[in-house]
A and B are shown apart, each in its own frame.
Chain A
């Protein structure tokens, strides 16, 4: 069996999410003599135009792996994410194409689809893949444990296996050409309808634009501030900068200390300011997903093992409740 790589794209409102580029990136790394070809599966509510397909093929050629085949699965229910319907559709497709590796972008709902497929196919699944290395003729994957403090090295035993891939982890891979043919485009209509899972509505609850995305500096609060009153320290710190905004890790928003509009992370805002001052933030991967592109990351934390230090440029091991008042006072002395 020549086992190809099946990549499952994510869409919302019939719009392809950019996470498919990470799938192309990991397909690049996973392609070898034993894996023949990559296929991008796009579940659509309305088929894409020839032009759009061409753009996707072009992106694949530039940033991932080429040629790729594209399989468009059409069903009106794909307008909204629908894990059970995707799992049904993929189960048939997998029987037909017999891929060796099936990849999804890492999101909670894709873990749902992956888990469902894993049960049906009796396949192994690795969720949240951050990196891959080839050891002899085996692929070895790495993923986080303990809120990012540890790294697990994992190897599947049997084919096919399923991966969910961290977005941003594989998006800058130099493109690889694995053949000269043009990719095929296959169109299938999916007729199964689940009535046990019905999507009713989708809405965007965060304002489209936020001043956080424009801020030069973000001072972000995490659970290390301990008390909502200490948010005053965060705001005072923000005021020493020319152009700063206040952000927060999710737990603070969950507790109602700050609005979700200010949440930075996978389920909140993605930012890449010149400076990210992480105050009492441990650095769980859901948070890092929102700010790891920041140009300079300064982490203030009492825990010298905190995961945020794995991506920080500067680390200050201090209680943020003591450090920020000292910082503000020093600022007044030096520049005030």
Chain B
């Protein structure tokens, strides 16, 4: 059985993000670090678990982006993927989901993957579109927001549990091949193992220049990126640690929310 996991490398958005308003993305000299999109970590872990329970399974991991995505692919191999594919694309900023899906699709359609796993969304652009667009491109079924997978013994179908909003879950059976987009909490992603880390250092990635797959460049809808306005209502509570605590308690006391023992 062959599984493809599509992962995206994203900027660490817990840190300070320097928006360059002219190029509409992170400033060129930004000190930001990059890591694997959280949701794709869950997808990769799911693939590796399936491999562990189905001997003879191969897990390929693919990522689209500039040279730095090689680090994320190596981490994926460290977590247990067998082979890494880098679709080398020069775009360092925003790349539309349509172009992303098409490029991945153009690589994938010539391969024979039993199913394709990816995260439900990318934390940076938050579209939730690449997975289903890829399924559309390949003309195969898709299920999104998957929190459990169960491969049926004939391996012709897969049963998944999808999470809907408000704590409702839906069980769906899909025929294979299919695309599954995975929601967080499906599993607990592992840390890379030492032996796999060593393997990731020795092993070559398969590099495919994006231009070889498609010359298409997207006519982007993105006009500009800006910082959201802060509400006029926002007040920062300032001072030393103790002063802030006191000021907050006074506000809360005024609202009659505190338990008063006397």
With an 8 A cutoff between CB atoms, is A323 at the interface? yes
Known: A107-B164, A205-B169, A303-B16. A197 touches B234 (CB 8 A): no
Interface membership of chain A positions 186-210, coded 1 if the CB is closer than 8 angstroms to chain B and 0 otherwise: 0000000011111111111110000
A204–B164 Cα gap in the complex (Å)? 9
With an 8 A cutoff between CB atoms, is B162 at the interface? yes
Which residues of the other chain, A, contact B143 by a CB distance below 8 angstroms?
112, 197
Q: Tell whether, in the assembled complex, residue B124 and residue A145 are in contact, meaning their CB atoms are under 8 Å apart.
A: yes
With an 8 A cutoff between CB atoms, is B108 at the interface? no
With an 8 A cutoff between CB atoms, is A119 at the interface? yes
Interface membership of chain A positions 293-322, coded 1 if the CB is closer than 8 angstroms to chain B and 0 otherwise: 000101000010101011111111110001
Which stretch from A23-31, A53-61, A94-102, A153-161 is at the chain B interface? A153-161
A154–B98 Cα gap in the complex (Å)? 15
The listed residue with most A CB atoms (<10 A of its CB), out of B19, B127, B178, B184, is: B127
Q: How large is the interface on B (under 10, 10 to 19, 20 to 34, 35 or more residues)?
A: 35 or more
Interface residues of A in 198-225 (CB under 8 A from B): 198-206, 216-217, 223
Q: Tell whether, in the assembled complex, residue A267 and residue B166 are in contact, meaning their CB atoms are under 8 Å apart.
A: yes
Which residues of the other chain, B, contact A317 by a CB distance below 8 angstroms?
236
Which of A83, A202, A266, A330 is B242 in contact with, Cβ under 8 Å? A330
A154–B97 Cα gap in the complex (Å)? 14
A95–B222 Cα gap in the complex (Å)? 28
Q: How large is the interface on A (under 10, 10 to 19, 20 to 34, 35 or more residues)?
A: 35 or more
What is the chain B residue whose CB lies nearest that of A141?
A: B221
A314–B231 Cα gap in the complex (Å)? 10
Which residues of the other chain, B, contact A322 by a CB distance below 8 angstroms?
241
Which residues of the other chain, B, contact A37 by a CB distance below 8 angstroms?
none
A156–B218 Cα gap in the complex (Å)? 12
Q: Tell whether, in the assembled complex, residue B132 and residue A112 are in contact, meaning their CB atoms are under 8 Å apart.
A: yes
Known: A150-B17, A316-B244, A316-B248. A115 touches B258 (CB 8 A): no
Interface residues of A in 251-271 (CB under 8 A from B): 251, 253-256, 260, 266-270
Interface residues of A in 116-145 (CB under 8 A from B): 116, 118-120, 124-128, 140, 143-145
What is the chain A residue whose CB lies nearest that of B236?
A: A315
Which stretch from A43-51, A64-72, A239-247 is at the chain B interface? A239-247
State how many angstroms separate the Cβ of A253 from the closest Cβ of chain B. 7
Q: Tell whether, in the assembled complex, residue A196 and residue B175 are in contact, meaning their CB atoms are under 8 Å apart.
A: yes
Task: Give 19 CB contacts A-B under 8 Å.
Answer: A83-B132, A84-B141, A108-B120, A108-B128, A112-B132, A116-B142, A120-B136, A198-B172, A202-B164, A205-B169, A240-B259, A267-B183, A274-B257, A284-B123, A305-B17, A313-B233, A316-B244, A317-B236, A326-B242
**Chain B residues with a Cβ under 8 A of chain A:** 11, 13-17, 19, 38, 94, 97-98, 120-121, 123-129, 131-133, 135-137, 140-145, 159, 162-175, 178, 181, 183-185, 188, 219, 221-231, 233-237, 241-242, 244-246, 248-249, 251-253, 255-262
